[in-house]
Structure 1
Amino acid sequence: MKSLCVYCGSRPGNDPSFQEAAIAVGREAARRGCRIVYGGGKLGLMGATAGAARDAGGAVFGVIPDFLVEMEGVLEGVDHKIVTNMHERKMMMYEESDAFLTLPGGIGTLEELVEVVSWARLGLHRKPILVLDINGFWAPLKELLGHFVEKGLADKNLVNDLKFVKTVEDVFETAENMSLRARA
């Protein structure tokens, strides 16, 4: 895996373990030579992940729409591209990534995750999709996905399209294993 797209909040959240995990993901990506692709801002968990990767000598590529530059700022010392809208941002992040990781975040983070899962369901890609479920943050989503399947509104393979993991170490090992299976 050469590039990991990280979806996460532009806020830090109120659980310190969210920030700790974001920093650990950035550092581990740098240690493994895996570039972080992210939403381009310098705030919250996004900024923590990208800043940690940058500070550990890793490669980082941020994609931010022009209207968010003033609101979120741009992280200094990383490659970035300023685009015109959210659709362009998400497509560029998708194209630049080998796998997707979701950390805690709000509605924008959820929307990004749901979009790449939907694309996987439609057969548009086979890239690994992971969710780092810190302190059960994403447990309601996992339950909701199971509910869709249980009620006959989604194929049972929906829950196989993304992997919920508990640790940063699991993120990279699981993504590598999923990548190998996708290529087979």
Structure 2
Amino acid sequence: MVTPRPFALCVYCSAGTTDPEHLALAAEVGTEVARRGWQLVSGGGNVSMMGAVATAARAGGANTIGVIPKHLVHREVADVDSDELVVTDTMRQRKQVMEDRADAFLTLPGGIGTLEEFFETWTGGHLGQHDKPMAILDPGGHYSGLFTWLAQLHDRGFVPQDALDRVTVTPDLTAAFEALNRGSTGSGGTV
């Protein structure tokens, strides 16, 4: 028998920062995931923003799916409290599982790993590999320099407008979640 599953949001974010404002933002996102009755797909670590999102989502009753490559199980302290913890052989497999299990993608502040995940998912959507909504929640302007540069690349003909239009960038949590909710009926599919 096929069971409907909740809408699944993949969150990309830092696994390194200890900044209280960023940790609070991550917790707020996890709380909102649960409030909406969605499930969380995350990088499977129980540290920094990654851990704060998952902990808050579970505290609100959301199902959490952590996906982590085996070489990071100890480094990022695997989120063994996840409802489902998927351990992959490689980072590439991790990203593929996260993308496959998600109905939408939200990027929070992060470093090179977060950027790499965001760009790969964004490129895949632009190239037609998926049509899943994407948003960046950026209340502190973490990504403002990046999007200034991307606008310059657009002006020079390197980034088409339809690629830029695929991503909602906002400082507002509600606006980000509404952009991600496009096409969601509360059920993301079947398992």
Same topology, TM > 0.5: yes
Which structure is higher in RCO with an 8 Å CA cutoff and minimum separation 6? 2
Tell me which protein shows more helix as a share of its residues: 1
2:25 is the counterpart of 1:28: no
Provide, for residues 35-85 of structure 1, a one-character-per-residue CA deviation record: whole Å limited to 9, x for no partner: 110100001100000111011111100000000001111123211111100
2:166 is the counterpart of 1:161: yes
Alignment root-mean-square deviation, CA: 1.5
Partner of 1:10: 15
Q: Aligned match of 1:146 in 132, 142, 151?
A: 151
Structure 1: tracts of 5 or more residues without a match: none
2:72 is the counterpart of 1:68: yes
2:95 is the counterpart of 1:90: yes
Identity of aligned residues (%): 37
CA deviation after TM superposition for structure 1 residue 178, in Å? 6.4
The structure 1 segments of at least 4 consecutive aligned residues displaced by more than 2 Å after TM superposition are 177-180
- Contact map agreement 1:130 1:162 (CA 8 A) in 2: yes
**How many Å separate the matches in 2 of 1:142 and 1:6?**
19
Count of residues in correspondence between the two structures = 179
SS at the partner of 2:41? strand
**How many Å separate the matches in 2 of 1:12 and 1:58?**
24
**How many Å separate the matches in 2 of 1:60 and 1:147?**
38
* Paired residue type of 1:52: A
Q: Which moved more, 1:63-72 or 1:162-171?
A: 162-171
Partner of 2:177: 172
Partner of 1:114: 119
CA deviation after TM superposition for structure 1 residue 134, in Å? 2.2
- Contact map agreement 2:10 2:104 (CA 8 A) in 1: yes
Alignment of 1:36-51 (within 5 A): 36-51=40-55
CA deviation after TM superposition for structure 1 residue 165, in Å? 1.5
TM-score normalised according to structure 2 size:
0.89
2:130 is the counterpart of 1:133: no
**How many Å separate the matches in 2 of 1:127 and 1:50?**
21
- Contact map agreement 1:17 1:134 (CA 8 A) in 2: no
Structure 2: tracts of 5 or more residues without a match: 1-5, 186-191
**How many Å separate the matches in 1 of 2:18 and 2:146?**
18
